[in-house]
Structure 1
Amino acid sequence: MMGKLIWLMGPSGSGKDSLLAELRLREQTQLLVAHRYITRDASAGSENHIALSEREFFTRAGQNLLALSWHANGLYYGVGIEIDLWLHAGFDVVVNGSRAHLPQARARYQSALLPVCLQVSPEILRQRLENRGRENASEINARLARAARYTPQDCHTLNNDGSL
């Protein structure tokens, strides 16, 4: 039995990390949340991730230990091949995915892939980005423009304007 790979996507500030954190708190016997391997400090950002140096990241990639990997926002991101074992064991797996790299996930997981897009209205997204205080006004405007550009096709859509 093959589980589903739930590829969770959405712009910065859409609530992906909050949703994943909430899923981790609930006992789910058939749902696993995959950690991403990222070339950033463990304390940076709000995501529960595994911090790697670029050397460590490329060593893992070179040994085919990453099922999927991509470069975005000056960082390298990867998802370990352990997700393949989990899927083949029948578990559903949620991944904090990249909108721009959805085609890569589709090519590898085909019918096992369930793309889910979190959508947030532009005014709520702006408010969330301003409240977290990590970006200046110019960076927020760039994120909002990028959010408007990247709306994947054939994606289950969840509106996340409210609270969890």
Structure 2
Amino acid sequence: MMSTDPLDRLGTLFVVVGPSGAGKDSLISEARKTLAGNSRIGFVRRVITRPSDGVTEDHIAVTETQFRTMVEAGAFAVHWQAHGLNYGIPATTLDELAAGTSLIVNGSREHLAEFARTYDKLIVLHVTASPEIIALRLAARGRESAEDIMRRMARQTQDWQIGLQVETIDNSGDLHDAAHRFVNAIRTAQSEQTAPVAV
């Protein structure tokens, strides 16, 4: 007899987290290419109060006034503020997951508790890299001073993994290898999700 639990039919939300410079956007971009033909996996466009530059992530750019209006209208399932910017995850993601589509979204370690309260099936993809690699990548961006980079590197988020299913991907080396592990973690979870559950 197959399970009739509605949770078994829900898609999984894969929340990608990790420090700036670990390469989250690069891995998400590679996964987007690899999984392009999979209709059961989608990618979430975040709403951010930052202009789109066509280089970094493909987000929906809004003003702070527009963002506040969207919050008041219930447009977000989860939203937060970091580094002077506002970030929002569209409420439509709940409908997509309910329809059985799994989604990949760039999230926030500091706000994973809110993600966990909002989404019933959630897996955290934790992207890491060595401190030396992260420092080099941040410096190469040219957005922050050496002092800012040192402060960012010193910032730690404690105990965020408690009670969560976490898959860690080290992106210190070759991007292709890390992308393979990243996509494999998604595919493995997706296979487990779609497998019949006997009761």
- Residue by residue over 1:19-55, the C-alpha shift from the partner in whole angstroms, topping out at 9 and shown as x without a partner, is 1112222313211110110001112871211100011
Matches of 2:172 and 2:111 in 1, distance apart? 24
* 1:120 partner amino acid: A
RMSD: 1.5
State yes or no: 1:18 paired with 2:29: no
Residues 46 and 90 in structure 2, CA contact (< 8 A), matched pair in contact too: yes
TM-score (normalizing by structure 1): 0.92
State yes or no: 1:160 paired with 2:168: no
Residues 94 and 119 in structure 2, CA contact (< 8 A), matched pair in contact too: no
The match for 2:132 among 114, 120, 123 is 123
The match for 2:149 among 130, 140, 161 is 140
* 2:39 partner amino acid: T
Q: Note the residue ranges of structure 2 that are not aligned, 5 or more in a row.
A: 1-8, 176-199
Matches of 1:61 and 1:109 in 2, distance apart? 18
> Corresponding residue for 2:77?
67
* 1:95 partner amino acid: V
* 1:107 partner amino acid: R
Report SS of the residue matched to 1:100. helix
Matches of 1:117 and 1:45 in 2, distance apart? 23
1:1-164 to 2 correspondences below 5 Å = 1-26=9-34, 27=36, 28-43=38-53, 46-110=56-120, 112-146=121-155, 149-150=156-157, 152-153=160-161, 154=164, 155-164=166-175
Report SS of the residue matched to 2:87. strand
- Residue by residue over 1:113-135, the C-alpha shift from the partner in whole angstroms, topping out at 9 and shown as x without a partner, is 11121111101111111122211
- Residue by residue over 1:54-102, the C-alpha shift from the partner in whole angstroms, topping out at 9 and shown as x without a partner, is 1111111111111110011001000101111110111110110001000
Residues 5 and 94 in structure 1, CA contact (< 8 A), matched pair in contact too: yes
TM-score (normalizing by structure 2): 0.77
Matches of 2:54 and 2:130 in 1, distance apart? 26
Which has more radius of gyration? 2
Matches of 1:157 and 1:99 in 2, distance apart? 13
Matches of 2:85 and 2:29 in 1, distance apart? 22
Higher strand share: 1
Matches of 2:101 and 2:54 in 1, distance apart? 29
Residues 17 and 47 in structure 1, CA contact (< 8 A), matched pair in contact too: yes
Report SS of the residue matched to 1:94. strand
Q: Number of aligned pairs?
A: 161
